[in-house]
Amino acid sequence: MNASPFFIIVDVLIFLGVLGLAVQAFIGLAFFFSSVWEKERRATVFAAVQFAGMTALLIIFLLMALSGFFKTAPGMVLLIAGYITVVFAAIFMVRKTAPNLRALQGTAGYMVSKGNRFDERVQVFARNRSIRPGSKQYHQFYRDHPELEKYDSERREKGGPLGKIGLIDKPDEGPNVAALLASISIPIHLCSPEVVKPDSHPLMNGKKIDLSPSEATIRIKGYATNIGADLVGIAKINPLWIYSHRGEIFHENWEEWGREIPADHKYAIVVAEEMSFDMVGPAPHTPSLIESMKNYAKGAYISTQLAAFIANLGYEATANHLRHYTAILPPLAVDAGLGEVGRLGYLMTKEFGPRIRLSAVTTNLPLIPDKPVDIGVEDFCKFCKKCATCCPSESIPYDDEPKEFNGTLKWKLNDETCFGYWAKAGTDCCICMKVCPWSHARTFPHRLIVWLIARNKYARRIFSVMDNIFYGRISIPKAAPKWARFKN
Ligand code: SF4
Ligand code: SF4
């Protein structure tokens, strides 16, 4: 009787059931270790409970199997019901649900009317850093924008968008300020006109090297990765994302201020560098600012070398980094297929979430553009809103749907109030980046979760709720690595 084909099938089902429960318990264990590694106390407790629950289930299942229960009528009913539930749940969570068609069109998918190119002179850093009180440019700018003068004067008195650096860390901020100033000096060294828009090296003899677009694309991406880029994508430039006029000036290069920026380059190579999980965790304290500046320095290093490489091939190239922008990078990164822009206003990537910094090179070298991607960000952000809840200056909108701004649908960050908080903290805050469920370290369980949420809308809802359960809905700064501590 026990060797009948029916009972062989039951034995196979029991074996597969044990295997499935063992895999579940293993994922629970991996999540426990991941939470310990992430130094997330609350998640560690929940992961331990989850692992204990899965292990208990596995043991109960094994005991039931060994007792022969699954070969009785009620046991078989339970086994088959369990299988049906698990198979349906798996199909429900794993299958690819309807794509977001507008995300697949890149920024063009979100355009509802004709927008205008943005003038860099109005950008908050350009206003505060470049326009010196009493200068010709100062009078010219505030004559055109009188509504900003009082606000900007008050901010300048407080020390600009960053205020007094490291204020929130007192009394131990000195070494961290020294570290971030070390990084911030690199983009300054790399922003003179001959560096950001280089000529071909004399040893290249002004030669133009013929490359097909596909060969040029392979070489450019390979070179960018080789010199340190974590992600690289190519966009065909929509001129809307090129600033209309220069606004940020360094090296006393005042003839550049207010100069019209030609939108004559057809392609942008956009590069992303991962920000360290350990350094973002202590946000809004100085370690996250050190990390931002380190990555801006990397971006300056990569983009200027890449521009020099393209110039040596005989084509025009302009580096875009912290101290020299001709373009707005997040929309270019979307069009370059690196990710989608989230509620918090940053680019969100599948690989690192918003935990990245961007740099770019615009060029007339013919290249093959990448396709925009749908990784489920817009749908996830519609109901998550964690960054908006945690933002100390209430700068991130709560609206369910993105709204029109300059012809494009987006969740528009209030950058004036955001920078107001930066001045109070003396850092670049980064709380929104830190709390975003997409920012977790890419350990095995988080890779699995990102794979699921990128393809399935039900997984997005479930894991958004689970993120709140496991990690909480408020931001608590984590301990910094010892060398970058901010407390005695
Ligand atoms: S950086 Fe800070 S203040 Fe600015 S939007 Fe993010 S959480 Fe809010
Ligand atoms: S915290 Fe939530 S709402 Fe905010 S960007 Fe991240 S996923 Fe979107």
Ligand nearest to the CA of 431: 1
- For strands 408-410 and 340-341, give the pairing: unpaired
pLDDT confidence of 1, banded at 50, 70, 90? very low
* CA separation, residue 139 to residues 94, 131, 135, 155, 486 (Å): 59, 9, 7, 17, 41
**For ligand 2, atom 8: residue with the closest CA:** 381
pLDDT higher than 60, residue 166 = yes
List the structure tokens of 148.
């900003």
Please give the biggest Cα pair distance in the chain. Answer: 99
CA of 333 to the centre of ligand 1 (A): 21
Give which of 268, 178, 265 is closest to 232, Cα–Cα: 268
pLDDT higher than 60, residue 149 = yes
Which residue did the predictor score with more confidence, 130 or 413? 413
Record the pTM.
0.94
* Most ligand 2 atoms within 8 A of CB, residue of 380, 382, 450 to mutate: 380
pLDDT higher than 50, residue 376 = yes
**For ligand 1, atom 2: residue with the closest CA:** 429
- Ligand 2 binding site (Cβ under 6 Å of any ligand atom): 342-344, 380-381, 384-387, 435-438
CA of 317 to the centre of ligand 1 (A): 33
Give which of 401, 395, 377 is closest to 464, Cα–Cα: 377
pLDDT higher than 60, residue 220 = yes
pLDDT in tens, 357-374: 999 999 999 999 999 999
Dist. CA 404–CA 38, nearest whole Å: 37
> Given this model, what pLDDT does residue 273 score?
97
Whether residue 145 contacts residue 138, with contact meaning beta carbons closer than 8 Å, is answered with: no
**For ligand 1, atom 6: residue with the closest CA:** 432
Which helix (H) or strand (E) is 188 found in, with range?
A: helix 174-189
What average pLDDT does the segment 55-66 reach?
95
What average pLDDT does the segment 298-325 reach?
97
Q: From the alpha carbon of 390, which atom of ligand 2 is closest?
A: 1
* Most ligand 2 atoms within 8 A of CB, residue of 340, 377, 386 to mutate: 386
* Residue listed under structure tokens 């299988």: 83
pLDDT confidence of 155, banded at 50, 70, 90? confident
Whether residue 381 contacts residue 343, with contact meaning beta carbons closer than 8 Å, is answered with: yes
Query: 3-state DSSP call for residue 246?
Result: coil
What average pLDDT does the segment 123-136 reach?
87
Dist. CA 392–CA 389, nearest whole Å: 8
Residue 262 burial (10 A CB sphere; 0-12, 13-18, 19+): exposed
Give the chain's end-to-end CA distance (angstroms, integer): 73
Dist. CA 426–CA 422, nearest whole Å: 6
pLDDT higher than 70, residue 488 = no
Give the whole-number percent of the chain exceeding pLDDT 90: 84
Ligand nearest to the CA of 344: 2
* Most ligand 1 atoms within 8 A of CB, residue of 162, 355, 414, 421 to mutate: 421
Sorted by sequence, the CB contacts under 8 Å of residue 130 that are 6+ apart come out as: 121, 137, 247, 248, 249, 257
What average pLDDT does the segment 444-456 reach?
96
Q: Enumerate the β-bridge partners of residue 359.
A: 271
Q: From the alpha carbon of 344, which atom of ligand 2 is closest?
A: 5
Dist. CA 182–CA 163, nearest whole Å: 18
